[in-house]
Amino acid sequence: MAKGTKKDVIRLQRQNGSRRAKAPSKRPALKKLVIRLLPGLNEHLRAEMRYRGDLQAMILEAINSVDLKNVRLVELISETRMSTTMIGLAPAIHAHLKNLAKARSASMNVMVNTAVAHWLAGKKLIRLV
């Protein structure tokens, strides 16, 4: 382009006389939950993640698809070194999980490990004994 010539300019016209574009609506705030996954569950879940995607999405799928009111709970052994992971839960799911944990006299961590264990067992990736 030669020096001193004007560049082509494209201007966008606002619709409906609005001066400012509306900001996209915010997503509801997520409740953060730090969980400790049993080593076997962590390994299988992360292996599955390599083929399917998001770890948090798989944990949420496990929580939503397993009947946590009635399934056998997993035992967490205190000497076992467990991987720590943070997940975000919708407030309604967080409250539901908290209520289930209280009703079953268990921690939310036990409930998440139970959901993941039964979800993986349903996919025939692990066997529960």
Domain ranges in the chain are: 31-122
Q: Measure the CA–CA gap between 29 and 112, rounded to whole angstroms.
A: 20
For residue 104, give both structure tokens.
């079953």
Q: What is the pLDDT of residues 74-123, one digit of tens each?
A: 988 776 778 788 999 999 999 999 999 999 999 999 999 999 999 999 99
Q: What is the pTM of this model?
A: 0.74
Whole-number Cα distances in Å, 63 to 17, 26, 60, 66, 69: 47, 24, 5, 6, 11
Is residue 113 helix, strand or coil? helix
Q: What is the CA radius of gyration of the chain?
A: 23
Terminal Cα-to-Cα distance of the chain (whole angstroms): 75
Per DSSP (E only), the strands in 22-74 are: 31-37
- The predicted model gives 4-9 an average pLDDT of 64
Q: Measure the CA–CA gap between 35 and 100, rounded to whole angstroms.
A: 16
Q: What is the pLDDT of residues 31-62, one digit of tens each?
A: 999 999 988 888 888 887 776 668 889 999 99
Q: Which amino acid is residue 109, in one-letter code?
A: N
pLDDT at 5: 59
